Amino acid sequence: MEEYAHLLCEIGVEELPHSISFRVARDFKESFTKLLDENRIDHGEVRLFSTPRRFSILIQNVSQYQSDYEEEKRGPSFDKAYSDGRPTRALLGFCRANGIEPEEVVFKEVRGSRYIFAVKKIKGDKTVKLLPDILETVLNGMRFPKTMRWEKSNFSFIRPIRWILFKYGDEVVGYDKVGLSSSEYTFGHRVYSSEAIKVENVEDYEELLNKACVVADRDKRLNLIREGVERITKELNTRVPEGAEVLFEVNTDLTELPNPVLCSFEEEYLTLPPEVLISEMVEHQRYFPLMDSEGKITNNFIVISNIKDNTKSKAGFERVLRARLNDGKFFYEEDKKRNFFDYLEDLKAVSFHPELGSMEEKVRRVEKISGVISDYLKLEDEVKRDILEAATLCKNDLVTQMVGEFPNLQGIMGYYYALESGHGERVAKAIKDHYRPRFSGDRTPEDIVGSVVGIADRLDSIIGIFSTGYEPKGSRDPYGLRRAVFSIIRIIVDKKINLSLSNLLSEVVGIYPLVKDKENFKKKLEDFFKTRIRSVFQELGFDYDEIDAAMANVLDDIYEAYRRVEALHRFRSREGFKDLFIAFKRMANIVKEGGECDESGRVNPDLFVQQEEKALYNYYLEKKSYIKRAIDSKDYEEVYEILGSFKSYVDDFFDNVLVMEDNRNLRCNRIYLLREIVESFSGIIDFSKLVVS
């Protein structure tokens, strides 16, 4: 009967970066267990432990031996192995090579032919002999964004390894790495446990670390932080702002013994914009800001400390934040001493791209593109003025001291500085909003002013970078041009903007002196947009064939293309869709393969022979004007309602009428009928692109 024992492996390291700590632990676990499986070593549950100073796995019931297995080797075919029932030289040579007798071979059929096989039973080796090589393979195979070398073996890793605990049952698994030998010792908290801790029984591992002030289970640390923060917020009737939720995970990977500490700062700093306060705490210090019941930032905050006694550290946390807030207050007051418009001149000294000039030149291009978009959209003069004003100011805060210190506040500080200098709320909001959406799931600008400037800004980047000869290749996109297209489409769809991107490109590419062949350059841009639009529509939940079927002239109006795809997507879920679209796809294919029939031929009702073709034609004539009116008014739901009403007539037609009639006149007349019906819907759908199983 096979025996089992528990396996513990811990790699002790210098503090891991919080952003990668848990991933390192998870990758270690997955690689280790995968190699156990590949080596046919049975095991039970795998527990993962992860702190900034260690990652470890405790694996239950690991078999002491590999599973036995059979190894098969194929030899000659049966016909070549035997002659008149006696073994041939081919068979005897195969048997000698594999250490078996001729009578021990087995016969198996492979693709209709019989072959000779040697089947050898391989006994499993001892697990403890295999474990060092498994750990070596795992550590050597781990990959990180950046690595370090710190000793003479030249081994590179995310951080220096300081100890290796490796036990299988009661036995220490011998393993050497970076001048260290594996042992049965671990180490506790830096402050509270300086001595090595002997792990005699691997099942006691977690409890021993708990006694040494290390909460090794990551989920337990996360829960401790959540419970501690919730206790404090309830007492104060406050809450953690949504943007700071990420700190629960971050602080989990920064601590081994998390303890929430309530701190505060002077109320005078509440005069700073709340985004500045939140940025200081969240981005720089990993502190939890707190908001009151009305959503206003308070002067209280929570720090997750890594030690028990926080009477002295509390003052230190407050002192560190106070210093940063002092800097923020100084930058804010200094920035406000200048009129916000005056910062435009400073943008001349900031490079946008070596071949495209300064940020000030970019702003001038954004102004022009914004003006063209405003004209296309036929916006009111007051709205146009706001758009041009916002476009002129949209990058000014990049050269302020505050954004220089906190780059993530670009746009946000522009909002406050614009208001301070007397610009209207709508213009100030557009300066902030034109960066949205910054990421997938982020909201789009609030109104048309920020939307137009946001589209113009991204369009300038796309056209400008393309004009330098650069195009995104594969996964490489250092300028974020694919993301820029995604944002443009999101804005257009969310704000229901009807805009011809094709016409817009024709008008604005002349702004870029690097563009020589405008027609070819425009085509290259259009192809790039079409590819990305298809991808974005798929991300929005539409099937690829729905997109292809409704993408006609997509750059003439992206929003209408979206509405066409959306209408088709909804209609597709209806009962009877499959049969109807199979019929219309068949019609489209027949028309496409019209053969010798005149491409300009028209239907002649006098040539109809059967009642079903007459009925289909008469019904089409009855609905023709309704189809055109629905398409012209862009009422796609109505178009599909009318399309659905054709089902019984189309079914009767195909059940009773032979389209490919021997008589050429009858055949072509029927093809003309189908062509006229299919083409009447061609403005919104290409039936041939639909995939109907």
More confident residue, 243 or 183: 183
Mean of pLDDT over the chain? 92
Average pLDDT for 78-98? 90
Q: How far is CA 614 from CA 253, 575, 618, 642, in A?
A: 75, 27, 6, 19
Dihedral, CA of residue 595, residue 596, residue 600 and residue 601, to nearest 10: -100
Among the ranges given (272-276, 287-291, 402-406, 550-554), the one the predictor scored with the smallest mean pLDDT: 550-554
Residue 2: pLDDT band (50, 70, 90) is low
**Mean pLDDT computed over 166-194:** 95
Is the pLDDT at 439 greater than 50, yes or no?
yes
User: What is the SS3 assignment for 338?
Assistant: coil
| 214 — pLDDT class (breaks 50, 70, 90) | very high
Mean pLDDT of 272-299: 94
With a CB cutoff of 8 Å and minimum separation 6, the contacts of 261 are 302, 303, 304, 305, 310, 313, 314, 317
The tokens of 610 are what?
């059967």
Q: How confident is the model at residue 644 (pLDDT cuts 50, 70, 90)?
A: confident
Burial class (CB in 10 A: 0-12, 13-18, 19+), 309: exposed
Determine the Cα–Cα distance for residues 693 and 679; give it in Å rounded to an integer: 23
Core vs surface per residue 96-125: b (16+ CB within 10 A) or e: eebeeebeebeeeeeeeeebbebeeeeebe
- Please, what are the domains in the chain? 4-66+126-211 (3.30.70), 69-122 (no CATH), 218-335 (no CATH), 355-565 (1.10.3210), 575-689 (1.10.730)
CB-based contact 499:376 (threshold 8 Å): yes
Structural element, H or E, at residue 55: strand 54-63
Q: Which residue has the higher pLDDT, 386 or 478?
A: 386
Q: Where are the alpha helices (DSSP H) in 512-635?
A: 518-539, 544-549, 558-572, 577-592, 611-632
**Listed ranges 68-77, 189-198, 466-475; the one with the highest mean pLDDT:** 189-198
Position 378 scores a pLDDT of 95
- Single-letter amino acid, residue 317: F
Tokens, residue 95: 């048997």
Distance CA 188, CA 346 (A): 54
Classify burial at 17, counting beta carbons within 10 Å of its beta carbon; exposed 0-12, middle 13-18, buried 19 or more.
Answer: middle
Cβ(226)–Cβ(260) below 8 Å:
no
- State the pTM of this model: 0.78
Q: What's the rounded Cα separation, in Å, for the pair 57 and 134?
A: 14
Q: Name all contacts of 282-287 with Cβ < 8 Å and 24+ positions apart.
A: 282/243, 282/244, 282/246, 282/247, 283/406, 283/408, 284/324, 285/317, 285/320, 285/321, 285/324, 286/247, 286/250, 286/251, 286/254, 287/247, 287/263, 287/317, 287/321
- Counting runs of H as helices and runs of E as strands, what totals does the chain give? 26, 19
Decide if pLDDT at 671 tops 80.
Answer: yes
- pLDDT for 693: 63
- Residue 595: pLDDT band (50, 70, 90) is low
Is residue 324's pLDDT more than 80? yes
